[in-house]
Chain A
Amino acid sequence: MTRITMTVDGVRYDDDVEPRTLLVQHLRDRLGKVGTVVGCDTSNCGACTVLLSGKSVKSCSVLAVQADGADVTTIEGLAGTDGELHPVQAAFHESHGLQCGFCTPGMIMSAVDLLTENADPSDAEIREGLEGNLCRCTGYQNIVKAVRSAAESMRASVPSTPESAATTEGVTT
Chain B
Amino acid sequence: MIPAAFDYTRAATVEDAVTALAGAGDDGKALAGGQSLLPMLRLRLAAPAMLVDLGGLTELRGVRDDGDALVIGAMTTHDDVMRHPLVHEHAPLIAQAAETVGDRQIRHLGTFGGSLAHADPAGDLPGVALAMDAVMSVAGPGGMREVPASEFFVDYFTTALGPGDVLVSVRVPKLTGWTTHYEKFHQLAQSWSVVGVAAAVRRSNGSIAEARVALTNMGVTPVRARGVEEALRGAPATADAVAAAAGRALEGASPLTDGTASAEYRTQLAPVLTRRAVMAAGGL
Contact = CB atoms under 8 A, between A and B. Distances in A.
Q: Do chains A and B touch in the complex (CB under 8 A)?
A: yes
Interface of A: 2, 18-22, 25, 41-44, 46, 49, 52, 55-58, 60-63, 65-66, 68, 110, 113-114, 128-129, 131-133, 167-173
A21 B84 CA distance: 33
28 contacts: A20-B2, A20-B41, A22-B3, A41-B1, A42-B39, A42-B42, A42-B43, A43-B35, A43-B38, A43-B106, A52-B108, A55-B108, A56-B104, A57-B109, A61-B35, A61-B109, A63-B34, A65-B10, A129-B104, A131-B190, A132-B103, A132-B190, A170-B63, A171-B61, A171-B80, A173-B62, A173-B63, A173-B64
B62 A171 contact: yes
Nearest to B83: A168
B61 A20 contact: no
B7 A19 contact: yes
A172 B64 contact: yes
Interface in B48-104: 51, 53, 55, 59, 61-64, 73, 76, 79-80, 83-86, 88, 102-104
Nearest to A48: B105
Contacts of B6: 19-20
Given A20-B6, A169-B83, 9 more contacts: A25-B2, A42-B39, A61-B106, A62-B34, A131-B189, A170-B62, A170-B83, A171-B62, A172-B86
B8 A65 contact: yes
A169 B63 CA distance: 12
Band of interface residues on B: 35 or more
B104 A43 contact: no
B13 to A, nearest CB: 15
Given A2-B8, A169-B83, A62 B43 contact: no
Interface in B100-125: 102-106, 108-109
Nearest to B37: A61
B144 interface: no
Contacts of A65: 8, 10, 53
Contact of B39 (A43, A68, A113): A43
Interface in B174-199: 189-190
The 9 closest A-B pairs by CB, nearest first: A132-B103, A19-B8, A173-B62, A131-B189, A170-B84, A61-B38, A55-B108, A20-B3, A171-B62
Contacts of B284: none
A22 B189 contact: no
Nearest to A25: B2
Given A2-B8, A22-B2, A43-B39, A113 B86 contact: no
Contacts of A43: 35, 38-39, 105-106
B46 interface: no
Given A19-B8, A20-B2, A20-B5, A60 B103 contact: no
Given A20-B5, A173-B59, A46 B105 contact: yes
A96 B208 CA distance: 52
B112 to A, nearest CB: 12
A24 to B, nearest CB: 10
Contacts of A57: 105, 108-109
Given A63-B34, A66-B55, A171 B4 contact: no
